[in-house]
Amino acid sequence: MPGKKEGEKHKRFVIITGLSGSGMSSATNAFEDLGYFCVDNLPISMLSTFARLLQPNAESAKPIEKAALVINIREPHFLSDFKNEVDKLKKKHLQPYVVFFEASDDVLQRRFSETRRPHPADTGKGLKGSIKAERKALERIRTTADLIVDTSDLTVHSLRRMLIRTFGDPDEKQTLKVQLVSFGHKFGGLRDVDLMFDVRHLPNPYFESTLRDLNGEHPSIIKYLNKQPDVGDTIDRFYTLIAYLLPFYVREGKSYLTIGIGCTGGKHRSVMVANSLQKRLKSDGFKVSTVHRDMQK
């Protein structure tokens, strides 16, 4: 990778491993949300072959930008070959960042009891014995990890937040997708909306005969509304509140946020306000899209 020292570990190539039931599947979902190419239970013998897909070369297509692989005790040669396979990657100047997941024995027992899944390391010793045997077998691999995550006190959501903070873009805004939906109250409200704003208090272009048949994206409508002092003030206040709230939704691990902007018919005011908010939020680095449900009615 350009700009990296030879053999340097970096977070674009992650190996997820650890104790069964410690949250590796949940971690994989979080990495997928972060744009990683994820593979579950890759054979350890394929590690070097897969790693080549992250390196540019003349014969292959564009390399994978970042990947996360789950390799654990389910893979027959994992324990015996893991260190040797990682050492091979060092020679190719692509060393994976190893994340080891674990949890207390009590928590692991409870999780397996709740899901009623058999423990992959069970050889007839029962659940408690299987957990202890797996923990001992993985001790050497644990010592090679770059990051150890104890999920005993983590929920699925708090684990996701932690991984996004650790492996995500430094700009947290990139993890949240915001959709602004303009609509007309006379055609019914919105379903599954997180925030709702009403702009029926603003001057209505509908009552201007030359503007009635235009929509909120037309320059004449935008010019008319921008001349009204209340419009700019309303947009400023909506923007300030939304910009204040979005980091809290990000912190809670929310991936999608829907914001409704309603006027009477959904054709003029709500469309213009939604577009104005989208432009301002996009300039701040948020991922924002708009849908105008009733603009053509």
* H-only helix segments in 154-199: 156-167
Provide the 3-class DSSP secondary structure of residue 150. strand
Tell me if residue 155 falls in helix, strand or coil: coil
CATH 3.30.420.10 fits 9-168, yes or no: no
Gap between the Cα atoms of 57 and 278, Å rounded: 40
Sheet of strand 256-263: strand arrangement:
195-198, 256-263, 177-184, 287-292
254 touches 176 (CB < 8 A):
yes
Q: What is the pLDDT along the chain (297 residues), one digit of tens a residue?
A: 334 443 345 688 999 999 999 999 999 999 998 889 999 988 888 888 888 888 776 555 678 889 999 988 878 788 888 888 888 887 777 788 999 999 999 999 999 888 778 888 777 778 899 999 999 999 999 998 999 999 999 988 889 888 888 887 665 555 689 999 999 999 999 988 999 999 999 999 999 999 999 999 999 999 999 999 999 999 999 999 999 999 888 877 788 899 999 999 999 999 999 999 999 999 988 899 999 999 998
Let me know: does 18 contact 24? Beta carbons within 8 Å.
yes
The whole-model pTM stands at: 0.65
The single-letter DSSP state of residue 35 is: T
What DSSP string runs through 224-259? HHHTSHHHHHHHHHHHHHHHHHHHHHHHTT--EEEE
Q: How far apart are CA 109 and CA 183, in angstroms?
A: 50
Domain ranges of the chain: 9-168, 174-292
